[in-house]
């Protein structure tokens, strides 16, 4: 059997598989192309084995020169390789000096294998700088209380809440890394500023008045905490734990009732258009009332809150969608209309959407964690989430409700 044709054929097939290293599949044994990928791997192993055997056999053969002497084929192969290398060095020299626009192609071989290493190092370096330096500088830039108050007003366009000086003392005594960064709290509470205080109180009472809502309240009166009566025993421990945490600082808090979700799943999913309108209204309200902020809580707040007791009423605040596929019913509506979730539907759930992963990926590596956790630009992942496929207890409200939960789904 001739060995050289096998070697030549393997050389012809090699270019077709040279891009295999760029695969974005972390585990090639999963997905719709698993069989095809595995087959290519087996074929590549077989071709490499045959190539090594062919070179070994060729190296042991001899050839006869014109003077009758026999020379090992390996020696001839060595001279051939030296000659080919010299030719390519000459070609590279000509390209480098006479065709500068093609210089980058001379490094294509090294960049093919080293590019991913360089980029991965770049990802680690950028992540370290972002997390350890940039965020830390943003979270703790003030040197004293006056600077912290001024920084708060600069960022959020209104004075800090009453008792901010107590928080500053508490944080600095414990070397907290967060002194100035309240972006997450600000964004989460911003839409509620579009609702009147009376509306918030009425909604809080309505949430706790019906046991079927799976909501309980913690009341603060005169600096002490009290939990709602008749909470389900299976969830009472959670509210008791929350009340204990609040009790450590309750003497500095105003009289109010706080509604807590008893379920593991989130409870509020406001459509994108509605939440955007609430954000805009809240920002406008803050801008108009900047001069009306005071440095203390309003007096007689207890009289404005009704008794936090259960009542035999049904308000219909939530829609029960437990054990249903809720992405199309709920999840998609909270995404911007221009997002992937708003403009496309995933029909073939066996395939990964590479266009969806590219915004937060650098080849096969994750480059943006915040974007990667957003379901709006990669709707194909909805079929992989247990929450979207079949939540065990999902009572959801589309209007905005003032209820605190143990967890928060991205975009819900």
Q: Which of 124, 168, 132 is nearest to 149 (CA)?
A: 168
| Ramachandran region, residue 191 (left: φ > 0; alpha: ψ -120 to 50; beta: rest) | alpha
Domain positions in the chain are 4-104, 140-181, 186-314+400-404, 324-390
Give the lowest-confidence range in 27-31, 61-65, 319-323: 27-31
What average pLDDT score do residues 235-262 get? Answer: 92
The predicted model scores a pTM of 0.66
Q: Higher model confidence: residue 226 or residue 406? A: 226
User: pLDDT tens digits, residue range 343-364?
Assistant: 888 777 777 788 888 888 877 7
Encoded tokens for 180: 């100035």
Q: Express each pLDDT in 286-332 by its tens digit.
A: 877 766 677 777 777 777 776 655 555 555 789 898 888 888 888 89
- Residues 139 and 177 sit within 8 Å (Cβ to Cβ): yes
Q: What is the DSSP string of 114-163?
A: HHHHHHHHHHHHHHHIIIIIIHHHHHS--SSHHHHHHHHHHHHSSPPPTT
Asked if residue 146 has pLDDT above 90, the reply is: yes
298 φ/ψ angles, rounded to the nearest 5 degrees:
-70, 150
How far apart CA 374 and CA 351 sit, in angstroms, is 19
Task: Give pLDDT tens digits for 167-213.
Answer: 999 999 998 888 999 998 999 999 999 999 899 999 999 998 888 89
Instruction: Give dist(CA 11, CA 339) in Å, integer.
Output: 45
**Which distant-in-sequence residues (6+ apart) come within 8 Å of 129 by Cβ?**
none
Q: Which residue shows structure tokens 């009572």?
A: 395
Mean of pLDDT over the chain: 77
pLDDT category, 19, cuts 50, 70, 90?
A: very low
Question: For residue range 109-131, what is the model confidence (pLDDT) as tens digits?
Answer: 444 444 445 455 666 666 666 56
Please state, in angstroms and as integers, the Cα–Cα distance from residue 26 to each residue in 38, 43, 355, following that order: 13, 20, 17
Distance from C-alpha of 406 to C-alpha of 264, rounded to nearest angstrom: 7
Whole-number Å distance between alpha carbons of 290 and 272 = 27
């Amino acid at each position: 059997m001739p060995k050289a044709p096998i070697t030549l054929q393997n050389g012809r097939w090699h270019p077709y598989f040279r891009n295999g290293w760029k695969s974005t599949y972390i585990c090639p044994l999963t997905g719709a192309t698993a069989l095809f990928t595995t087959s290519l791997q087996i074929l590549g192993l077989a071709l490499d084995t045959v190539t090594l055997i062919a070179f070994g056999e060729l190296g042991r053969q001899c050839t006869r020169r014109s003077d009758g002497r026999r020379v090992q084929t390996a020696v001839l192969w060595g001279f051939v390789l030296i000659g080919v290398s010299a030719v390519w060095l000459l070609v590279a020299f000509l390209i480098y000096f006479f065709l500068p626009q093609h210089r980058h192609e001379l490094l294509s071989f090294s960049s093919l294998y080293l590019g991913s290493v360089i980029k991965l190092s770049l990802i680690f370096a950028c992540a370290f700088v972002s997390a350890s330096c940039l965020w830390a500088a943003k979270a703790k830039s003030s040197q004293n209380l006056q600077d912290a108050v001024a920084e708060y007003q600069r960022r959020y366009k209104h004075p800090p809440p009453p008792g901010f000086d107590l928080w500053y003392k508490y944080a600095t005594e414990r070397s907290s890394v967060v002194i100035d960064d309240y972006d997450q709290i600000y964004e989460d509470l911003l839409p509620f500023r579009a609702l009147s205080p009376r509306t918030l109180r009425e909604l809080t009472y309505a949430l706790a008045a019906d046991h079927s809502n799976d909501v309980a309240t913690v009341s603060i009166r005169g600096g002490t905490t009290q939990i709602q009566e008749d909470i389900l025993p299976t969830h009472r421990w959670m509210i008791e734990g929350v009340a204990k945490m609040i009790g450590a600082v309750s003497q500095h808090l105003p009289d109010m009732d706080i509604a807590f979700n008893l379920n593991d799943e989130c409870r509020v999913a406001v459509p994108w258009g509605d939440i955007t309108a609430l954000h805009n209204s809240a920002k406008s309200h803050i801008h108009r009332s900047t001069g009306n902020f005071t440095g203390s809580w309003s007096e007689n707040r207890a009289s404005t809150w009704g008794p936090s007791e259960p009542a035999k009423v049904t308000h219909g605040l939530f829609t029960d969608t437990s054990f249903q596929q809720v992405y199309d019913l709920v999840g998609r509506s909270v995404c911007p209309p221009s997002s992937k979730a708003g403009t496309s539907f995933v029909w073939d759930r066996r395939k990964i959407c590479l266009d969806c992963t590219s915004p937060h990926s650098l080849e096969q590596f994750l480059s943006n964690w915040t974007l990667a956790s957003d379901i709006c630009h990669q709707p194909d992942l909805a079929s992989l989430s247990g929450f979207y496929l079949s939540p065990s207890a999902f009572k959801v409200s589309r209007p905005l409700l003032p209820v605190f939960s143990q967890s928060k789904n991205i975009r819900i």
